[in-house]
Amino acid sequence: MTTVYVFNGPNLNLLGVRKPEVYGTTVLADVEALCATAAAGHGLELDFRQTNHEGTLVDWIQEAGAAVVRGEALGLVLNAAAYTHTSVALHDAIEGAQLPTVEVHISNVHGREEFRHHSYVSPVAAGIVVGFGVDGYALAIDGLVRKLRPVRSA
């Protein structure tokens, strides 16, 4: 079965506790369950991970890119969190792996502090989902599938 990857960056392990007025009260395990349901609806397996370490994300992106090349995976949904705004390394990893990626953010980063308005991930992303809360993850999975497996008219 084909896999969809969902990778989460720093502090998302604190989801539900950190700034609930911005990120809500849903915990990361609930997001994983939401993603598993969305993936299963498309006949996909889910590989869901979180790390606070940039280099680990780079390694995982390269791993996912290799799985796509082998035909074992569809692509990546990435909430790089703060690394979105700082990491050229993530940009280069996604680009180098030629990994179909949908960038996701729980909050509307464009309505927040100025430094959150820039993304190093966006230029190499197939799409972006911003501001829909944790439901954005399911929207991102749906969008990735629709982009890479377009429905053909009869």
Annotated binding site for substrate: 79, 85, 92, 106-107, 116
Kindly indicate the confidence band of residue 19, based on its pLDDT and cuts at 50, 70 and 90: confident
This prediction's pTM: 0.91
The C-alpha atoms of residue 72 and residue 43 are separated, in whole angstroms, by 13
How do the domains of the chain map onto residue ranges?
1-93+133-154
Per residue in 105-127, pLDDT tens? Answer: 998 878 776 877 889 999 999 99
* CATH fourth-level superfamily of 1-93+133-154: Dehydroquinase, class II (3.40.50.9100)
Q: Is 23 a catalytic residue?
A: yes
Average pLDDT over residues 87-111: 94
Catalytic residue among 5, 23, 83, 137: 23
Q: What pLDDT, on a 0 to 100 scale, did the predictor assign at position 81?
A: 94
- In sequence order, the β-bridge partners of residue 71 are none
Burial of 85 (0-12, 13-18, 19+ CB in 10 A): middle
Backbone angles phi, psi at 135, to 5 degrees: -60, -20
